[in-house]
């Protein structure tokens, strides 16, 4: 942390980062303080820029699949899914029933991983590093073990394919998912017992970082951030993709949209994910895991463009592709929820204490791999 006192106005200018331990990646905030009160905050990022989008324009469509793992590296399988959907829309590729069900299962397991990790991290942002994070990571590890059995990797999955999946489910995998789904409610009950009535947590999170619904909508904010403010928008219902229109589930909504509501929304969303997982596991059919006519080598979609999006754990994740008929995209663009949700950080922090800034940042739930690309 670097700070300097301005001679003209006696305001303290503080640079948090670029490697502050609570900024969820290589990120920096230039903050101007009047005493302890925030009067200006400018996010500074780009430290993790990897040229993802430009690289994708120089390689084949399939070669970009493993690059999507590195966007939100907490949620690689949903990144794969959003990209696969866009290419399938661009080329008119069908997906078999079995693959659609498996995608939903993987998507909701990924939501569990993301929101579980979020609970551990947000408590760490409040200074409670230790037990809470370890409880969260204990459950996350169980799901990562399943991902490793299926994809060969715990995080960098590279698993989705245009028209389906890279391989079918291994023996015993479905039973492993059922075991986790059956046991997860007990973990959520335990975490809620620790958190919901905690006086310190309530004092640090209630009425902190809230913005009006209109401001969030105009800023393009999506996901749990938007629903915590009471806006009923979830792409799984508003613009269903895959086979989500076959499942019954609720869209939890908050009221104030403060840090506390953002935390509780994720608790409620995990319970809905468990309901979806029960339904998907019960309905999982036999059949092909990838369309028999799906073309891997020499793939060239027709000339045109497509945009497809999913309700990722952090919000709307979309890909925009333009094809000129060649093996690589003419244009490739990512719509990353972490980056867009981050753009209103200053509005959330103005007039609050410096101690609130890190908690508000944590409540946005960003991953710098997706912010910088």
Q: Going by C-beta distance under 8 Å and a sequence separation of 6 or more, which residues neighbour residue 361?
A: 22, 23, 24, 29, 125, 345
Dihedral angle sign, alpha carbons of residues 140, 141, 144, 149: negative
Confirm if 227 and 251 have CB atoms less than 8 A apart.
yes
- Tokens for 63? 């070669």
Question: Residue 55 in 3-state DSSP?
Answer: helix
Question: Residue 224 in 3-state DSSP?
Answer: helix
* β-pairing verdict for 37-44 and 28-34: antiparallel
Domain boundaries, the chain: 2-44, 52-372
Q: Give CATH for domain 52-372.
A: 1.10.645.10
Render each residue's pLDDT in the chain as its tens digit; 373 residues.
555 555 556 888 988 877 765 666 788 889 999 888 999 999 888 888 888 989 999 999 999 999 998 888 888 999 999 999 999 999 999 999 999 999 999 999 999 999 998 888 888 777 766 677 788 888 889 999 999 999 988 888 899 999 999 999 999 999 999 999 999 999 888 888 877 777 888 888 888 888 889 999 999 999 999 999 999 999 999 999 989 999 999 999 998 989 999 999 999 999 999 999 999 999 999 998 988 887 777 788 999 999 999 999 999 999 999 999 899 999 999 999 999 999 999 999 999 988 888 889 888 888 888 888 7
Three-state secondary structure readout of 55-74: HHCCCCCHHHHHHHHCCCCC
């Amino acid at each position: 942390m670097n700070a300097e006192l301005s001679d003209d106005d006696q305001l303290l200018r503080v640079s948090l980062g670029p490697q502050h331990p609570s900024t969820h990646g290589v990120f920096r905030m230039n903050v101007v303080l009047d005493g302890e009160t925030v009067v200006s905050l400018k996010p500074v990022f780009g430290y993790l820029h990897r040229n993802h989008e430009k690289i994708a324009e120089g390689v084949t469509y399939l070669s970009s699949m493993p690059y999507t793992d590195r966007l939100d590296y907490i949620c690689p399988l949903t990144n794969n899914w959003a990209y696969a959907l866009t290419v399938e829309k661009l080329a008119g590729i069908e997906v078999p029933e079995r693959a659609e069900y498996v995608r939903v299962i993987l998507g909701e397991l990924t939501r569990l991983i993301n929101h579980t990790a979020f609970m551990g991290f947000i408590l760490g942002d409040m200074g409670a590093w230790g037990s809470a994070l370890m409880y969260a990571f204990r459950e996350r590890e169980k799901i990562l073990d399943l991902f490793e059995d299926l994809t060969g990797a715990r995080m960098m999955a590279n698993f989705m394919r245009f028209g389906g999946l890279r391989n079918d489910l291994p023996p015993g995998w479905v039973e492993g998912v059922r075991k986790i789904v059956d046991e997860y409610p007990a973990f959520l009950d335990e975490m809620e017992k620790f958190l919901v009535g905690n006086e310190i947590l309530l004092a640090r999170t209630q009425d902190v970082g809230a913005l009006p619904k209109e401001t969030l909508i105009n800023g393009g904010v999506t996901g749990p951030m938007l629903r915590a403010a009471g806006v009923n928008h979830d792409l799984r219902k508003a613009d269903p993709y895959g086979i989500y229109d076959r499942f019954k589930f609720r869209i939890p909504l908050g009221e104030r949209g403060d840090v506390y509501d953002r935390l509780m929304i994720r608790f409620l969303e995990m319970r809905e994910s468990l309901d979806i997982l029960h339904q998907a596991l019960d309905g999982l059919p036999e059949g092909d895991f990838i369309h028999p006519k799906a073309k891997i080598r020499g793939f060239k979609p027709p000339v045109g463009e497509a945009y497809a999006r999913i309700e990722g754990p952090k919000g709307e994740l979309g890909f925009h592709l333009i094809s000129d008929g060649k093996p690589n995209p003419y244009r490739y663009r990512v719509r990353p929820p972490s980056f867009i949700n981050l753009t209103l950080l200053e509005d959330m922090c103005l007039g609050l204490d410096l101690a609130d800034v890190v908690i508000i940042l944590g409540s946005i739930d960003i991953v710098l791999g997706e912010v910088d690309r």
